[in-house]
A and B are shown apart, each in its own frame.
Chain A
Amino acid sequence: MRNAWVIAQREIASYFAAPMFWILAGGFMAFSGFLFWLYINQPTPPQADMLPLLQVYGTILLFITPLLAMRLLAEEQRAGRLEVLMTAPINDWQLVFGKWLAAFVMFTVLIVLTLFHVGIMHRLAEKGVAPGPTFAAYVGLILLGAALLAIGVLTSSMTESQVVAGFLGIMVIMVLFFLSIVKQMPFGESGLGAAVAYLGLSDHYYKFGQGVVDTRDIVYFLSLTFGSLFLATRMLETRRWR
């Protein structure tokens, strides 16, 4: 864990020093802020309900997280630094986990910033914001981000090109997100259709958005996170055999 944290610390400093994070953070804050403004200025006065809004924030993450993660391993490979890291006395898992952890910390900063919106909403609404469902929605956002970043780390481990890693990440995430649609198809009721639909991200995520924290969904997101990071570790390992 100490090794992973050394990797993560360096990476976090690097995020703050590079324009990419500021562009993504600025873009995310501007866009989510604009949506929030639209939401509270609806012709019919808004209910003190953050949930629809937080769901929309979640969909923005589908695009932001691969961009946040694409650099992590691809750039190390391109610059040849992976050789230095992989000959240091740390194992491949610690390296991959450390990289992911850095992106996760940066992502959490972004999510924490949206708490401003919750605060404003709480002031505006007569009864205030219901804490339980809002908390559930945030748990969903954090778990979604963790899994999406892990997928980003995985695609970043596959190529030396940040651009390829980023595009691949967005594509994989899109497919995974909309996999749940399968169940609306004619064969969706069959066992296989249901199984495929279960793998889809969106249903699991939207349940949090409805204020429901279900252990099965938590297990789903954690499996996706650690599964992707495990595969990324194996991807790095294959470099040793090429």
Chain B
Amino acid sequence: MTRSSDRSSNGTREVMVEVDRLTRYYGPVPAINDVSFRAYRGEIVGFLGPNGAGKTTTMRMLTGYLPPSSGTARIAGHDIVSDSMAARRVIGYLPESTPLYTDMTVFAYLRFMARLRHVPDAAEAAERVMRRVSIDHRADDLIGQLSKGLKQRVGIAQALVHDPALIILDEPTIGLDPRQILEVRGLIRELRGDHTIILSTHILPEAQQVCDRVLIINRGRIVAEDETQNLTARLQGGPRIRVAVPADLDAATVSAALSAVAGVDTVAAAGDGVYAVTAVAGANPSPDLAETVVGRGWPLMELTPVSATLEDIFLELTAEEPAPIGDDTADDTTDMEEEHA
């Protein structure tokens, strides 16, 4: 929430990640096709998309694991192709499977990762990062003995141990139980501000809760990019209202009555006396709807405005035939980039 005001008041925020027409082919098929975006210092950016959309491929290119087929990216000014080592130094990365050395203790593993990352005092850095992710009470336990949630914290700790400018987390909550998911999301939110974070997820509420900005990726392309709350607002169209009356009333009669109200665009009977009303953009037919229902002598059980969730947007954008929406958003993306520039 404070993020967006930051952004509007300060247009010159430091660019941490600048992705420039990144493309990667597996054989003849592009897994990622001409992707460009930016991430700013202190921002949490979410990659949202169905499985196989190209999220992991993009992350692997940013971290220097896979070379791009064409295009490039700069991390804190270091080019990932021509200056890979310098770029890798400022990145912390947790792959999706959370690969750890199960035969090492938490402390020994984090000290090893700190050494690998050229941290001057590796033991001290390991201690510090263990406190930061609240795993210090298990410092001397073997990683193999930890629960999945604690392993995930160790995985995040190794991505943090060298205090990187950019942290890349691939599906950081996958395979965790609901309580662990909340813990990990909380941890990621705590890191907000100190580091730029790019995370991928296919869980929509997660992107909504954790991220400042969301890039929706489908079939190797960015189909939408905006701040989380704008994205929700943008595709909402006219307001939606949920109206409930007793189920024994004739659906056709009620639909007809509701449709007649000024400002109502469509009415759909959802069964059990529930009707989904879409209003014309800019109109608010709620008072008239209430009056109509009550005027007919029907008991009004419920009248609720419904806001479209990211889920609706997501489904709309990633549907099999996304042609019209895809074109729209492609234009929007270009607009946004011009704003940044």
Contact = CB atoms under 8 A, between A and B. Distances in A.
B85 interface: yes
A112 interface: no
B334 to A, nearest CB: 31
Interface string A16-27: 011000000000
Contacts of A86: 64-65
B99 A81 contact: yes
Contact of A17 (B103, B115, B116): B103
Contact of B91 (A18, A79, A87): A87
A85 B65 CA distance: 9
Given A6-B112, A6-B116, A80-B95, A87 B65 contact: yes
A240 B65 CA distance: 6
Nearest to B102: A79
Contact of A80 (B85, B88, B89, B97): B97
B99 A83 contact: yes
A87 B88 contact: yes
A185 interface: no
A84 B89 contact: no
B100 A81 contact: yes
A90 B108 CA distance: 19
A14 B88 contact: no
A88 B89 CA distance: 7
Contacts of A79: 99
B155 to A, nearest CB: 9
Interface string A78-119: 011101111111110000000000000000000000000000
A18 B103 contact: yes
A38 interface: no
A90 B95 contact: no
B104 A80 contact: no
A90 B65 contact: no
Contact of A81 (B101, B117, B118): B101
A86 B113 CA distance: 12
Contacts of B97: 80
Contacts of B118: 89
Interface in B202-231: none
Nearest to A87: B63
Nearest to A91: B85
Nearest to A75: B101
Nearest to B26: A242
A10 B112 contact: yes
A240 B66 CA distance: 5
B85 A89 contact: yes
A14 B115 contact: no
Contacts of A6: 112, 115-116
A138 B88 CA distance: 42
B93 interface: yes
A84 B99 contact: yes
Chain A interface residue number, banded: 20 to 34
A1 interface: no
Contacts of B50: none
B71 interface: no
B67 A240 contact: yes
B98 to A, nearest CB: 8
A90 B115 CA distance: 11
A3 B116 contact: yes
Interface string A182-199: 000000000000000000
A80 B99 contact: yes
A85 B100 CA distance: 11
Greatest chain A CB density within 10 A among B63, B86, B158 is at B63
Given A6-B116, A83-B65, A88 B103 contact: no
Contacts of A87: 63-65, 88, 91, 93
Nearest to B116: A88
Nearest to A88: B116
Nearest to B65: A87
Nearest to A17: B103
A189 B101 CA distance: 53
Interface string B114-143: 011110000000000000000000000000
Contacts of A18: 103
B117 A88 contact: yes
Nearest to A6: B115
A46 B70 CA distance: 70
A14 B104 CA distance: 8
A88 B115 contact: no
25 contacts: A3-B116, A6-B116, A10-B104, A13-B108, A17-B103, A79-B99, A80-B97, A80-B99, A81-B100, A83-B60, A84-B93, A84-B95, A84-B158, A86-B65, A87-B65, A87-B93, A88-B88, A88-B113, A88-B116, A89-B85, A89-B89, A89-B117, A240-B65, A240-B66, A240-B67
Given A18-B103, A81-B99, 19 more contacts: A6-B115, A10-B112, A13-B104, A14-B103, A14-B104, A80-B99, A83-B60, A83-B93, A84-B158, A86-B65, A87-B88, A89-B86, A89-B88, A89-B89, A89-B117, A89-B118, A91-B85, A240-B65, A241-B67
4 A-B pairs closest in CB distance: A80-B99, A81-B99, A87-B63, A89-B88
